[in-house]
Amino acid sequence: MRTRLSIAVMLAWMTPSAAPALEFVEGKLQVHGFASQAVVKSTDNYYFGNSPETSFDFTEIGLNASYQKTPNLLFSGQLLVRRAGEMYDGTPSLDYGLVDFSPLSDAEKRLGVRLGRIKNPFGLYNETRDVPFTRPSIFLPQAIYYDKIRNALLSFDGIMFYGDRYLEQGNLSLNLGVGQSVIDNNVEWTYLGDDLDGDLRAEGINWGIGSLWFSTPSDSLKLGLSAILTEMDFNAGPESPLSSGTIDVFDWVASFQYNAADWTISAEYSRAPTRWNDFGPYWPFKDQVVEGYYLQGAYRLRPNLEIMSRYEEGFANRKDRDGRDFSDLTGGTTPRFDFFSKILTLGLRWDINPNIMFRLEFQRHDGTYALSIRENPDPGDLVREWDVFAASVSVRF
């Protein structure tokens, strides 16, 4: 609703220009928060709500807290209220909640373990994707950071071991984790094409996450390799057209970022071999390798004013980049352009003060693979070439 945008703008102008975090217990307990409201207008297709009619259904409100019990023991968590079209309805959820213990920490190295609901150190932006101020744009590159399966990518329930080594040449960071993925209805819509009679869930303790990062001491150069292994089990109900089966996904991404005084260049490449097992004769897909990549540049005209451009491509199967083979598997009911997305993005960021941010964004789309099937259930209504105009205002403390 328009009221949401009006409230966000009013809060922005009422927020002090340098509001500190709330601190308690002699500074050991810190509380932060943020709120963001966007308006989205598309020429066709549903993108975070009924965007052809102008959507105000992209709202984020978060509250996080951290308690530094001792120098080596930290408790941290965040609650998020997120409204994103038909994908997320604003129900409060736990983004992360963990205990971080680092028994070994000095000027040369650090070793530790995290336990709880933990953010996945996947790519450049996954760990910080839930906070509008830490994203490079209103919407992350959908060729890698799919919002249609956001919760499954964001975090997992389990344990993670990490280590950092500080060298003269730069810093090395290694993360290894295991646990259970966070599966919601959006994952079922994405991988099975509908909300079927049955239950899709993580298959036991099956989630594996690993990442290796190198960064120079000044963070001018950052290189990384991240991977996520997910196994899901579908228990079909009596009304399901599909049989009970399993889905295996191995998603990895190579990351590059270079930071200079006034500009930043980022690029990432991802592949996700995916396999469907035992779903019966009515499920046409068996194996595919999802592929995505982007190149992004940001230039700071002033310390508080930044322009950004990005080009990205994503494919349901790297061996079928025009979507022709996959469209044939559906008997032509799904158009071939629903199996790829090519997106050009131009953006502007204005930090009105350290706690208030305003953004404008334009996207030119060729293909609809980035779209949520949940928001666009009828493939016959899809339009191949379409544009998006978006604006957002965000506040934080």
User: Does residue 336 form part of some domain?
Assistant: yes
User: Does residue 274 form part of some domain?
Assistant: yes
The pLDDT mean for the chain works out to: 91
User: Does residue 41 form part of some domain?
Assistant: no
User: Does residue 171 form part of some domain?
Assistant: yes
User: Does residue 81 form part of some domain?
Assistant: no
Q: Give residue 20's pLDDT.
A: 57
Residue 332 has pLDDT above 70, yes or no: yes
The angle subtended at Cα 218 by Cα 216 and Cα 223, nearest 5°, is 35
User: Does residue 356 form part of some domain?
Assistant: yes
pTM recorded for the entire structure: 0.90
Residue 11 has pLDDT above 80, yes or no: no
Compare 282 and 139 and report the one with higher pLDDT: 139
Residue 254 has pLDDT above 80, yes or no: yes
Tokens of 279: 């779903």
Separation between Cα atoms, residue 319 and residue 251, nearest integer Å: 17
Instruction: Return the beta strands (E) in the chain as ranges.
Output: 22-24, 29-42, 55-70, 73-84, 88-89, 93-105, 109-119, 155-166, 171-181, 198-202, 207-215, 221-236, 245-259, 263-277, 287-302, 305-315, 340-353, 356-367, 385-396
Segment among 109-123, 149-163, 199-213, 302-316 with least mean pLDDT:
199-213
User: Does residue 123 form part of some domain?
Assistant: yes
Bridge partners (DSSP) listed for residue 189:
none
**Tally of domains in the chain:** 1
Residue 101 has pLDDT above 70, yes or no: yes
Separation between Cα atoms, residue 390 and residue 387, nearest integer Å: 10
Kindly state the average pLDDT of the residues 88-115. Answer: 94
Q: Give residue 13's pLDDT.
A: 41
User: Does residue 152 form part of some domain?
Assistant: yes
Backbone Cα Rg of the chain: 21
Residue 14 has pLDDT above 70, yes or no: no
**Structural domain harbouring 238:** 100-396
- Provide the CATH number for the domain around residue 284: 2.40.160.10
Tokens of 161: 């071991």
